[in-house]
């Protein structure tokens, strides 16, 4: 059997609106998995291809992921209960490079793109976060509370129904204007949000690591269905990414 192929028992499951928060037993997850890497999950039901879901958090013996029900695959996965087994390829891809412990990092997430940033934030020595959601209903309270245990969090919503009204790039611009310039930005979220974050980072000479979410087939770089143009070059998101570095 492939050394990346796991069958993991669900030890904890929570649901919140369209989100499902699953923890599975995964021995040595903290040694094996890097922040920003992802799982390729056989969801069940009629979905034939695996679906990519980010690693949200790990411990010595568990791995957590949170996903939104979008279509057939995620709907079938959300049916699984505690005690059921999840078939996954893990961990896949290239995650966030967070080797320098002394650098000041800002984690900026949008919607489901907030989830991969929790484990990443835990790996940073000096970190704060801006988490953006559509509205209060989308801002999963358990996740936001877990993040607040790791670092200072600025919560933003598009409509102002929770936290500060506005979009995360505005939050970043305000931080920089207040003299709180980070050495590095790590980000994941909708493309339009990440493009804006990358452009603010470049204008201010800040290194930015952005995690891309493309539709994927194999997850291991053979089918190339996730190839996309990044910074003028065709890149295979599952194998070369999903995290790409945009130098200052
Ligand atoms: C590296 C990576 C990490 C991801 N991490 C998470 C995560 O932590 N939590 C989470 O909720 N989702 C995550 N996603 C998105 C998730 O993979 C898709 O929502 C899922 O594959 C949809 O499958 P489905 O069968 O439910 O829906 P489908 O029937 O396949 O599609 C339903 C809708 O979702 C859209 N969609 C499908 N795949 C993607 C995709 N990859 N990116 C954007 N839109 C898509 C389709 O265009 C369609 O509108 C991640 C995607 C990638 C590539």
Distance 75 CA to ligand 1 centre (A): 11
Is residue 69 scored above 80 in pLDDT?
A: yes
Distance 112 CA to ligand 1 centre (A): 10
208 vs 97, which has greater pLDDT? 208
- The count of C-alpha atoms lying within 13 angstroms of the C-alpha of 132, restricted to the half-sphere facing its C-beta, is 21
The domain 5-92 having CATH identifier 2.40.30.10: the answer here is yes
Q: What is the pLDDT of residues 75-125, one digit of tens each?
A: 999 999 999 999 999 999 999 987 677 789 999 999 999 999 999 999 988
Q: What is the pLDDT of residues 30-65, one digit of tens each?
A: 999 999 999 999 999 888 899 999 999 999 999 999
Is residue 230 scored above 90 in pLDDT?
A: no
**Cis, peptide link before residue 198, omega less than 30° from 0:** no
Task: Give the per-residue pLDDT at 175.
Answer: 92
Distance 203 CA to ligand 1 centre (A): 31
Is residue 1 scored above 90 in pLDDT?
A: no
Mean pLDDT score of the chain, rounded to an integer?
Answer: 93
Is residue 221 scored above 90 in pLDDT?
A: no
Using CA positions, which residue lies closest to atom 4 of ligand 1?
53
The domain 104-211 having CATH identifier 3.40.50.80: the answer here is yes
How large is the average pLDDT for residues 197-201? Answer: 95
Task: Give the per-residue pLDDT at 2.
Answer: 62
Ligand 1 atom with the smallest distance to the CA of 43 is 25
Is residue 26 scored above 80 in pLDDT?
A: yes
Domain ranges of the chain: 5-92, 104-211
């Amino acid at each position: 059997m492939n050394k990346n192929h796991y069958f993991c028992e669900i030890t904890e499951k929570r649901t919140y609106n369209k989100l499902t928060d699953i923890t599975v037993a995964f021995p040595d997850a903290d040694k094996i998995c890097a922040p920003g890497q992802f799982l390729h999950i056989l969801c069940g039901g009629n979905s034939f291809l695996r679906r990519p879901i980010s690693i949200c958090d790990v411990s010595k013996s568990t791995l957590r992921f949170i996903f939104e029900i979008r279509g057939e695959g995620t709907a079938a996965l959300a049916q699984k209960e505690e005690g059921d087994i999840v078939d996954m390829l893990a961990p896949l891809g290239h995650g966030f490079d967070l080797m320098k412990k002394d650098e000041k990092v800002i984690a900026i997430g949008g919607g489901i793109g907030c989830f991969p940033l929790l484990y990443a934030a835990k790996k940073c020595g000096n970190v704060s976060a801006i988490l953006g959601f559509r509205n209060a209903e989308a801002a999963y309270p358990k996740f936001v509370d877990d993040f607040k245990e790791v670092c200072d969090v600025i919560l933003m919503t598009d409509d102002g129904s929770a936290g500060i009204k506005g979009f995360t790039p505005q939050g970043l611009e305000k931080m920089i204007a207040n003299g709180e310039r980070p050495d590095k930005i790590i980000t994941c979220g909708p493309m339009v949000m990440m493009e804006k974050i990358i452009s603010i980072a470049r204008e201010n000479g800040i290194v930015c690591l952005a995690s891309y979410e493309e539709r994927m087939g194999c997850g291991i770089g053979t089918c190339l269905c996730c190839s996309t143009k990044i910074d003028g070059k065709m890149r295979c998101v599952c194998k070369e990414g999903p995290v790409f570095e945009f130098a200052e």
